[in-house]
Amino acid sequence: MQPSLLWRLLTGVAVISLLMTACKKDMARNPGTPTDSLSKISTNDSIFNIFKDIYLWTDAVPDSATFKPDSYSSPYTMFDSLIGFKKKSNGGNLDKYSFLDDGSTADVLQGHAGDLGFQIGWQTRSELRVVYVYPGSPADKAGIKRGWQMSAVNGTTSFTYGNQATEDALNNAFSAKSANFVFTKPDGTTLTTTIAATQYNLNPILFSKVYDLAGSKIGYIVFNTFVAPDVVKAQFETIFSDFKTAGVTKVIIDLRYNGGGYVSTAEYLAGKLAPASVANQLMYSTVFNSRVTNKNFNWFFKAMKAVPDYPDDLWADIFYSEATTYAKTNFGATGGLALTNLSFIMTGNTASSSELLFNVLKPSMNPHMIGSTSYGKPVGFIAVTIGKIDMYCINMQSLNSKNEGDYFDGFTPNVQAGDDYAYDWGSFQDPMLRAALTDMGVPSSALGRLANTESNRLGTISKFYNKANQFKGMIFPKVK
């Protein structure tokens, strides 16, 4: 696979530092640049100018004189207006993706987290359950497991879905430095514990196992966030090596809560799963706006050098190269597992790089999707830092080898299945895993008797309290 120029230049999420002194040094390279404008340009103007140049749907955004960036009270209110110009055919906003951030997203995607380390969801309208726990997190060290009922938090013992008092109690607990919890285990015993938010290394591989069922070896992986490849590659190498040793020919990748992340990690996984027949063939291509592909940037963007380590490189050149020379990405070596079946478990919380992985494998493997309609995000960002703000505005759209990539409304599952938070990972009582296995030809009788399902089961995550899954995105550039 030929790495992009950005892949070679950068070691993390791309950043552009709008230091005025650095911009002034570029004046000798850009004759005719209004030097007085550089010294006066505001944060709002900075964001607008870069946004207008690199936004995928730039033609929908008015010019600066019409929009008047400095008429907005803050960069955040201005940005909300900017991303509202691109409309769907029904009049609704197409861009549900772009956002401004304080740097938390970049930290998480590099494998750094600083929260309680677990997520809760509504099993019913009055019952909260643990949805997942990150290995090595404060919650994991306290012994918390998926499926446990959260019976109390900071003295609150009654919970109602949609109730403001309940929402306040949960928000206060998960945003505090520490909170006191009472959990009820499946055997009816309870655990009372105080969990403090601390820094930990994020491990988004929540579970993996090889099943020997109905004459088939089936590998199962629960993956929660597309962090940078170096965070998870060693662990994935061990998992796939174990799969190969065990003779796995069918694989289920569980992405039900995975909001995306680094494209390079999706590429790595695609190579591990794809058949030998697509080695060195096109995996996907990216499409940028005409300003980027024609190198038709305004003076502001043309004046900007890249990161300090590469003082001779201009960001205009880098974006242009990414959109032209490096617009296509090929598979590398493939076929290590020689799979006969591949399935993905996905929900409305499954987005971006998760959907990219599914989409690039469609032409060669026809993977099945189990669950519910995915989020719908065939577009990605190169993050841009302006002062203390990271701007994630949509820069490009991805297309698979068959030129397919308009899944803005998400992918529709081959087999519908609802989530159930009452069971730990790997349980055959989990309706999503069970549906994926039976879809692969495993008879229900091999999975044991199914317990009675609650008629009032809600199975909803109203809010992601864990920072690692608040993000829904596809991050470029690709990193090692």
Residue at 459 is within a domain:
no
Which contiguous run of DSSP H or E holds residue 175? helix 164-175
Is the domain of 76 the same as that of 179?
no
The share of the chain scoring above pLDDT 70, in percent, equals: 87
Residues 111, 115, 116, 120: what is their CA dihedral angle, to the nearest 10 degrees?
Answer: -90
Q: Is the pTM of this model over 0.95?
A: no
> Of 214, 27, 257, whose CA–CA distance to 120 is shortest?
257
Burial of 180 (0-12, 13-18, 19+ CB in 10 A): middle
Is the domain of 225 the same as that of 359?
yes
- Among residues 137, 164, 198, the one where a domain terminates is 198
Residue at 182 is within a domain:
yes
pLDDT in tens, 16-32: 332 222 222 222 223 33
Residue 10 is predicted with a pLDDT of: 29
Is the domain of 209 the same as that of 352?
yes
Residue at 5 is within a domain:
no
Higher pLDDT, 437 or 8: 437
Is the domain of 59 the same as that of 169?
no
Is the domain of 372 the same as that of 417?
yes
Alpha helices by DSSP H, listed for 10-42, are: 20-25, 35-40
The whole domain housing 138 covers: 115-198
Is the domain of 235 the same as that of 278?
yes
* Res. 281 pLDDT band, cuts 50 70 90: very high
pLDDT in tens, 305-332: 655 445 677 778 878 988 998 899 999 9
* Res. 233 pLDDT band, cuts 50 70 90: very high
Is the domain of 81 the same as that of 120?
no
CB atoms within 10 A of CB 394: 24
Higher pLDDT, 200 or 389: 200
* Res. 382 pLDDT band, cuts 50 70 90: confident
Residue 286, φ and ψ in degrees, nearest 5? -120, 145
**Amino acid found at 325:** T
**Amino acid found at 123:** Q
Alpha helices by DSSP H, listed for 306-352, are: 315-323
Euclidean distance between CA atoms 396 and 323, whole angstroms: 9
Euclidean distance between CA atoms 423 and 185, whole angstroms: 11
Residue at 225 is within a domain:
yes
Cis before 3 (ω within 30): no
Write the CB contacts of 373 (distance below 8 Å, at least 6 apart in sequence): 348, 409, 410, 411, 412, 413
Is the domain of 133 the same as that of 98?
no
Written as six digits, the tokens of 238 are 């061990």
Is the domain of 339 the same as that of 210?
yes
Question: Average pLDDT for residues 388-393, to the nearest whole number?
Answer: 87
Q: 436-468 burial, b if ≥16 CB within 10 A, otherwise e?
A: bbbbbebeeeebeeeeeeeeebbbbbeebbbbb
Cβ atoms of 4 and 475 closer than 8 Å: no
pLDDT in tens, 54-80: 999 999 999 999 999 999 999 999 999
Is the domain of 245 the same as that of 361?
yes
Euclidean distance between CA atoms 300 and 123, whole angstroms: 51
CATH of the domain at 154: 2.30.42.10
Write the CB contacts of 73 (distance below 8 Å, at least 6 apart in sequence): none
**Amino acid found at 212:** D
Burial of 2 (0-12, 13-18, 19+ CB in 10 A): exposed
Is the domain of 236 the same as that of 194?
no
Residue at 308 is within a domain:
no
315, HSE (Cβ side, Cα atoms, 13 Å): 28
Residue at 457 is within a domain:
no
- Among residues 158, 177, 198, the one where a domain terminates is 198
Higher pLDDT, 462 or 26: 462
- Among residues 108, 140, 170, the one where a domain terminates is 108
* Res. 36 pLDDT band, cuts 50 70 90: very low
**Amino acid found at 242:** D
CATH of the domain at 268: 3.90.226.10
How many domains is the chain built from?
Answer: 3
Euclidean distance between CA atoms 50 and 48, whole angstroms: 6
Q: Residue written as tokens 């990414």?
A: 322
Residue 103 is predicted with a pLDDT of: 78
13: helix, coil or strand? coil
Residue at 302 is within a domain:
no
Cβ atoms of 374 and 350 closer than 8 Å: yes
Residue at 298 is within a domain:
no
Helix-then-strand count for the chain, H and E: 16, 22
Is the domain of 345 the same as that of 436?
yes
Is residue 413 over pLDDT 70? yes
Query: How is residue 7 annotated by DSSP?
Result: H
